[in-house]
Chains A and B, each alone.
Chain A
Amino acid sequence: MKSIQRHLRTRLLTVFTILVVTGAGGLYWAVRSALLEQFDAGLRVKAMTVVTSATQRRGDVDEKFSDKFLREFDDDVATDFFQLWQITRQQDGREVTTVEGRSDSLVKGDLPLEFGPIDAPVYGDLILPVTNKPGRAIGVRFTPRYNRRDEDTANDLREAIVVVASDRSELDTLLARIGGLLLAGGVVVLGVTMLVVPALLRPGLRPLHEVGELASQIDARTLTRRFPVADVPAELQPICERLNDLLQRLEYSFERERRFSGDLAHELLTPLTELRVLTESSVKWPETAGPRRSAETLTIIERMEADITSLLELSRAEHQQVQAKHEQVDLGELVGQIWASYASRALDRKLDVELAGPQSASVATDPVLFRLVVGNLMANAVDYAPVNSPVTVEWDVVEQTIAVSVTNLALELLPEDVPCLFDRFWRKDAARSENHHSGLGLSLAAGLAEVLGGRVDANLAETGELTMTFTQMVGAEPAGGDTGNGDAVT
C-alpha cells in the first residue's frame, strides 16, 4: 500500500543523499584542485630555478644547478627530479633533443619529454623513475641565458627543455584522507538524517493520521460525527469541509431512508394489523361480526388498495414505464374540470377560493397525467389549508411554459420541511394519526410531472403561504416517450 510518510521519507532521503554526495564531491574536487594548483605552483618554481641555472655559449647548453639548497633533488632525498635537453635544429628542419643534464636524484633515469612554452608549460602525472612512486611533472621549453656581448652565441641561439618532476605521494595521501573524512562525514550525516527525518515528518503528518483515524471510525451509525475544521492545517481544511458536507448529505439521506422505512412500515402494517385484529376478534367472538365490522374492513382494504396503487404508479413513473400521450387541450378548461372534483370539499371547509388564469390557452399535454399532478396539488391545499382560509389556483402559459400554481396557508410547516414534501410517505404529523393521507400524493405528483417533461416545486413564504407550482414546457419531450402506444395511468 502507498504511504505518504514512506514516500516523503524516501524522497527526502534520496534528495538529501544526492545533496550530500554532490556537496561532498564538490568540496573534495575543490580542495583537490586547490592542492594540485599549489603543487603545480611549486613545480613551476622548481622548474624556473632550473631554467635560471641553465646557460648557453656558442651552441652549447649547460646547467649549473646545485642541490645544496634544494636537497629534494639530491639522490639521498630523491623527491624531486629534473632533466635538461638541448634542442638542435637540423638542416632539414627537424629538431633533435639531447640530454644535457639531470638531477642527482634521477641518476640515469629519464623523465617524459612533454613540454610547453614557458608561459604555458605542460603538467602531467607520471610514475617516478628510481623511486617508482606517483609523481607530477612540469615541462618547459625555454631559451637558456647567454652573454649578450657574445655575438657568436647570440647568432646561434639554442633552446632547451627542462622537465621537473616531484613526488606527489604526500599530496595523494592528503587527498585520500580528505576524501575519507568527507565520506565518513557524509555517511554519518545520512545516518542521522534517516533517524531525524521520520521524527520530523511524524508531527507534520499527525493531522493527516488523525483525519484518517476519524474517517475509519465513521459508519452508518456514526454519521453525526464531523471532521474538525478549525484546528487542522490549511491544506486539510478544504478536505475536511468537503467531507463534512458529504457526511451531512449522507446523514440526511440515511435519515430520509430510515424515515421512509418507518413511514412505509406504519402505512402498510397498521391497516394490516387493523384487518387482522378485526378478523380475529370476529372469529373469537362471532357476535361481534356484522355489517358494521364488514364495512370497517372494507374501508381499510380500500385505503390499502389506494396506497399500494399509488406506490405502484410511483414506481412505474420512476422507471419510465408510464408514457405520456400529448394532445391539445384548453388549459383553463382543464384546470376548471380538475378543480370541480375538490370544489365541494373546499366549500365544506369554508375555504376562500380564487381561480385565476387565461380563459383560453391551447397547450399540448397529457390530460390524464396533468389531472393527476394538478389534482394532487389541489387535494393537498384543500385538505391542509386551515378552515376559512384562502386557497388560490393560478394558471398561465409564459414563454412556451405551462405553469399551474396552488397556494394555501401552511402555518405548521417549517422551512426545513419543504425539501421533505416530495419524500414518499412524508407527513408533517409524525404520528401519522389522520388516515386520509398516506403521504404519497406529492411524490406521485412530482414523479408524473417528470413523465410529462415538467416538474413540481414548493415554496414556503415567510407569511406561511405554501405555493406548489407545476411547470411544463409546451414543447417538452415527455420523459417516457410519446409513442401513443404506452401504458396509460388510470
Chain B
Amino acid sequence: MRVLYVEDSLSLRETVADALRRSGYAVDVTAEGREGAQLGLAEPYDVAVLDVMVPGLDGFGIVDEWRKAGRDLPVLFLTARTAVTDRVDGLNRGGDDYLTKPFALEELLARVQALCRRRYGQTSPQLSIGILNLNTVAKTVRCGDNHLTLTPREYALLEYLAFRAGEVVSRTEIEAHIYDDLAEPMSNVVNSAICLLRSKLDSAGATGVITTRRGLGYVLEEVP
C-alpha cells in the first residue's frame, strides 16, 4: 500500500514515515501543503495522512482540492485541535478519520491499515483466498497450517494482490502502490519480486495462486 504523509514537523515526518515503511507501506512525504495536494492528484496513493496545520495549503484545503477533482483518496487528519467542533469540521470537510495529538504510533498504524482495508472493500483484517490466509493487522500469512515468512516488501505485494484478488493488476500499478518515490523502480524489480513471492508460496503449498496474464499483469486467485 502506498501512503502520502504531509507533515511540517521534521521529527514527526521522519519517525512516522519510518514506522509506516517498517510496517510495509511505501511512503511519500512532504512538508508543504501545495506539494502534498499536487502529489495526491498525480499519484495513486491508497491513503493520505495529513497534518492539518501545514504551510502553504492546510490539510482541509488539500482535501478540498482532491474532492473537487473527484479524487476519493481516504484521508486521516492529524491535528492538535481537540475540540469536538474541530473534529466534526474535519470530518465534514472530507476527512475519513481524525487523530488528535498526541497519538499513539500503534493507533496511527492501525487507522491507516483500516483505511487501506476499506479502500478495497474489506471489512475484516482477515483475508482468505483459497488456502491462503492473510492477517492484515499482524502482517502474517498462513498457507493451510504453514506459516510463511515474507519480507515487508513481499508481504506488501501479496497483500495488494490479495486486496485485488481476481483482478488483473498491472506492473505499473504494483510499482505505484508498493514502491515509494525513494526507490527507482525498474521493470525487473517487480518481476523479481513476483518470482520470489511465487517460490515461497509454492514451497508452502500455494502453487499457482499468482498467474501471469501476458501483456496485462498478474492475478491472484484461488486455485481450483
Chain A positions near chain B (C-beta within 8 angstroms) = 262, 265-266, 268-270, 272-278, 280-281, 284-285, 288, 296, 300, 429-433, 435
Contact = CB atoms under 8 A, between A and B. Distances in A.
B92 to A, nearest CB: 16
Nearest to B83: A261
A236 to B, nearest CB: 34
Contact of A276 (B33, B53, B100, B102): B102
A269 B102 contact: yes
B216 interface: no
Given A262-B80, A284-B105, A433 B31 contact: yes
Contacts of A277: 11-12, 15-16, 19, 103, 105
Interface in B171-191: none
Given A269-B101, A273-B102, A276-B102, A433 B54 contact: yes
B22 A285 contact: yes
A121 B210 CA distance: 143
Contacts of B54: 431, 433
Contacts of A296: 11
A278 B16 CA distance: 8
B84 interface: no
B81 interface: yes
Nearest to A278: B15
B221 interface: no
Nearest to B57: A431
Given A433-B31, A433-B54, A270 B101 contact: yes
A291 to B, nearest CB: 15
A324 B132 CA distance: 75
Contacts, number: 74
B192 interface: no
Contacts of A266: 53, 80
Contacts of A265: 80-82, 101
B105 A281 contact: yes
Contact of A270 (B9, B56, B58, B104): B9
A296 B19 CA distance: 16
Contacts of A288: 18
Contacts of A276: 102-105
7 contacts: A274-B15, A276-B105, A277-B15, A277-B16, A280-B105, A430-B53, A433-B55
A364 to B, nearest CB: 44
B80 A269 contact: yes
Contacts of A274: 9, 11-12, 15
Interface in B127-146: none
Report, nearest first, the 8 A-B pairs whose CB atoms are least far apart: A273-B102, A280-B105, A431-B55, A269-B80, A433-B8, A273-B101, A265-B80, A269-B101
A124 B55 CA distance: 107
B10 to A, nearest CB: 8
B34 to A, nearest CB: 12
Nearest to B58: A431
A277 B102 CA distance: 9
B8 A431 contact: yes
A433 B54 CA distance: 7
A296 B80 CA distance: 21
A182 B31 CA distance: 92
Nearest to B16: A277
B8 A300 contact: no
A278 B13 CA distance: 11
Interface residues of B, number: 26
A85 B102 CA distance: 125
Contacts of B19: 277, 281, 284-285
Interface string B90-111: 0000000000111111100000
Contact of A278 (B11, B22, B53, B56): B11
Interface in B33-77: 33, 53-56, 58
A432 B53 contact: yes
B6 to A, nearest CB: 11
Nearest to A282: B15
A288 B58 CA distance: 31
Contacts of A273: 12, 80, 101-103
Contacts of B56: 431
Given A262-B81, A270-B80, A429 B55 contact: yes
Contacts of B101: 265, 269-270, 272-273
Contact of A281 (B15, B82, B103): B15
A15 to B, nearest CB: 54
Most buried by B among A268, A269, A429: A269
Given A273-B101, A273-B102, A277-B16, 18 more contacts: A262-B81, A265-B82, A266-B53, A269-B100, A270-B9, A273-B103, A275-B102, A277-B12, A277-B103, A280-B105, A281-B15, A284-B22, A285-B22, A300-B11, A431-B54, A432-B53, A433-B31, A435-B9
Nearest to A283: B105
A223 to B, nearest CB: 14
Contact of A280 (B22, B33, B106): B106
Contacts of B105: 276-277, 280-281, 284
B205 to A, nearest CB: 32
Nearest to A262: B81
Contacts of A284: 19, 22, 105-106
B129 to A, nearest CB: 29
Contacts of A431: 8, 33, 53-56, 58
Contacts of A280: 104-106
A276 B16 CA distance: 11
B79 to A, nearest CB: 8
Contacts of B53: 266, 430-432
Nearest to B109: A284
Contacts of B12: 270, 273-274, 277
Contacts of B55: 429, 431, 433
A122 B222 CA distance: 138
A430 B60 CA distance: 14
Interface string B18-34: 11001000000001010
A277 B15 CA distance: 7
